[in-house]
Amino acid sequence: MKKQLLSLMLAGSMAASMVACGSAGSAGSTDNSGDAAAEDGAAAADVQSDDENTLTVYAWDENFNIPALQAAEKDFQDVNPDFKLDIITQSQSSDVEQAVTLAGQAGDYSTLPDIVLFQDHYIQQYVTNFPDAWQSVDDADCDWDGLGAEKLSYSTIDGVHYGFPVDAGTAIFAYRTDLLEECGYTIDDVTGITWDEFDKIGKEVYEKTGKYLLCMDGDGNDLFYMMLQAEGASQFKDGEPYFTENQQLVDVFNVIVKLAQDNVLYLANDWSDYTDQAIQGDMVAGVYNGNWIIPTIEQVADNSGKWEITTAPTLTGKEGYASNGGSSLYITANCKKADLAKQFLAYTFGGGSAADGQSTTYDEALTNGGVIGTCAAAAESDVYQQGVAYFNDQPIYAKIVEYTQNVPTVEQSDYHYSARTQLATALQSVLTDGVDVDTAIANAEQQLRFDMGL
């Protein structure tokens, strides 16, 4: 009963969340005091507090990130009973990016709160463009080693720590085990296999069930990034596109083409087709994406108990670990209580309370907001270790944190999304227009270089 209750709480709290896309919430402060941003886009009236125990923070998504911050506030009050976190809710992640941009362009960071939540794939660009907007947290009392090296690679710039991770974008490969069993396979048969072996199984699944063993949004195609990262490879090398001379990228591209041609991979027309028709419309037997895709899978109540998760296939057959999406918390230049901010963040999202044996931050962020953290110590809690009924009682949250510790760190770029767009376009040119793979990849690299001004 306890397991079922946790599963229901998570399903309800996660249903509206989509962290990879910077989910929308309603603009305003969580206390509804009227001090928050007005609908015309005006900045919050007060982004700072005179109280020595209060910190202000910009964040988005009242169903995901906000409950995590509220859990952290409660957690830190065990250390400082007078502590208060004034959460100023933004409509979406781009509102925070715009606030930093406007402050940086004006050379006046007094308009920023003490802390901001920022998307991982964008932070390096903003530290590069506005280096004076941020404060280093290198001297925070934090066990960085327990937070996942790949996750920290976004917020560690030129060897300097700037942020504390909130959610793990760690990827999962989820399978309909009932459909696998119908074809004579188990979850073990799709764990630690090559993509060629996966293709063979996928063809059998499609022939016998009419379901695809993999699906992806063909427009915002994240397969290239995740599959490459699982190999320990990047789309970039020394700051430039690395396509045509990157044999692993060429191999991954060919795999994706073959999977699509063999009816193993369904490439959806857009995000709605991917989530509503493919995943929730019972077209697929497998889903590979950041763990934030879990609430989308869980929307089909009739499939409870039929799904399980594991690692991804790879080119070589080793178990594949990757990440897609996520965000972290950063202290702005306007924070006059930097020591308090570092203590708060290190104790909560940095895993300090988890190291003490109980983390309200991680446990309640998971149960109230569906936020799966990155801290290895936090995964030892009863909340993380419990089986989840929808996933056949697998302790999927502990598994995901375990996966997080194994995700390879690869070169990142401010042009991550541009690379995704160009590779997705190249794939469609092969599948739809008959362009050969080498030409398509070369065209994609050339276009990305143009986008980057190279």
CATH of the domain at 440: 3.40.190.10
Tell me: do 271 and 389 sit in the same domain: no
Tell me: do 34 and 144 sit in the same domain: yes
Tell me: do 385 and 278 sit in the same domain: no
Q: Alpha-carbon distance 112 to 98, whole Å? A: 11
Domain that holds residue 212: 171-322+415-451
Q: How many CB atoms lie within 10 A of CB 88?
A: 24
Q: Is the pLDDT of residue 447 over 90?
A: yes
Kindly state whether residue 73 falls inside one of the protein's structural domains: yes
pLDDT value, residue 95 = 94
Task: Please give the C-alpha separations between residue 398 and each of 10, 298, 310, 372, in angstroms, as whole numbers.
Answer: 14, 18, 12, 9
How does residue 353 score in pLDDT terms, banded at 50, 70 and 90?
confident
SS3 state at 308: strand
- The residue ranking higher by pLDDT, 380 or 357, is 380
End-of-domain residue from the set 401, 424, 443: 401
Tell me: do 76 and 153 sit in the same domain: yes
Q: What is the mean pLDDT of residues 59-87?
A: 95
pLDDT value, residue 39 = 38
Which own/partner pairs from 228-232 qualify as long-range (CB within 8 Å, at least 24 positions apart)? 228/252, 228/410, 229/321, 229/322, 229/323, 229/407, 229/408, 229/410, 230/312, 230/314, 230/320, 230/321, 230/322, 230/408, 231/314, 231/315, 231/316, 231/320, 231/408, 232/408, 232/410
Tell me: do 264 and 302 sit in the same domain: yes
Kindly state whether residue 409 falls inside one of the protein's structural domains: no
Kindly state whether residue 373 falls inside one of the protein's structural domains: yes
Kindly state whether residue 406 falls inside one of the protein's structural domains: no
pLDDT value, residue 46 = 78
Q: Alpha-carbon distance 299 to 376, whole Å? A: 28
Tell me: do 120 and 138 sit in the same domain: yes
- Residue-wise pLDDT for 389-403, tens only, equals 999 999 999 999 999
pLDDT value, residue 377 = 86
Domain count, the chain: 2
The strand pairing partners of 342, in sequence order, are none
Q: How many CB atoms lie within 10 A of CB 220?
A: 16
Tell me the two tokens of residue 352.
Answer: 């300090």
How does residue 59 score in pLDDT terms, banded at 50, 70 and 90?
very high
pLDDT value, residue 357 = 64
Kindly state whether residue 54 falls inside one of the protein's structural domains: yes
- Residue-wise pLDDT for 23-46, tens only, equals 333 333 333 333 333 333 334 447
- Residue-wise pLDDT for 405-439, tens only, equals 999 999 988 899 899 999 999 999 999 999 999 99
Is residue 227 within 8 Å of 215, Cβ to Cβ? no
Lowest mean pLDDT among 11-20, 219-228, 348-357, 365-374: 11-20
Tell me: do 297 and 179 sit in the same domain: yes
To the nearest 10°, the Cα dihedral for 102, 103, 104, 108?
A: 140
Tell me: do 379 and 436 sit in the same domain: no
Q: Alpha-carbon distance 272 to 279, whole Å? A: 10
End-of-domain residue from the set 401, 424, 441: 401
Is residue 163 within 8 Å of 142, Cβ to Cβ? no
Q: Alpha-carbon distance 404 to 256, whole Å? A: 24
End-of-domain residue from the set 359, 374, 401: 401
Q: Alpha-carbon distance 200 to 311, whole Å? A: 18
Kindly state whether residue 27 falls inside one of the protein's structural domains: yes
Q: Alpha-carbon distance 282 to 296, whole Å? A: 12
Kindly state whether residue 422 falls inside one of the protein's structural domains: yes
Tell me: do 6 and 132 sit in the same domain: yes
Kindly state whether residue 150 falls inside one of the protein's structural domains: yes
Q: What is the mean pLDDT of residues 273-278?
A: 94
- Residue-wise pLDDT for 136-155, tens only, equals 999 999 999 989 999 999 99
Tell me: do 70 and 190 sit in the same domain: no
Q: How many CB atoms lie within 10 A of CB 390?
A: 24
Lowest mean pLDDT among 57-61, 345-349, 374-378: 374-378
Q: Is the pLDDT of residue 314 over 50?
A: yes
Q: Is the pLDDT of residue 189 over 60?
A: yes
Tell me: do 310 and 331 sit in the same domain: no
Tell me: do 63 and 163 sit in the same domain: yes
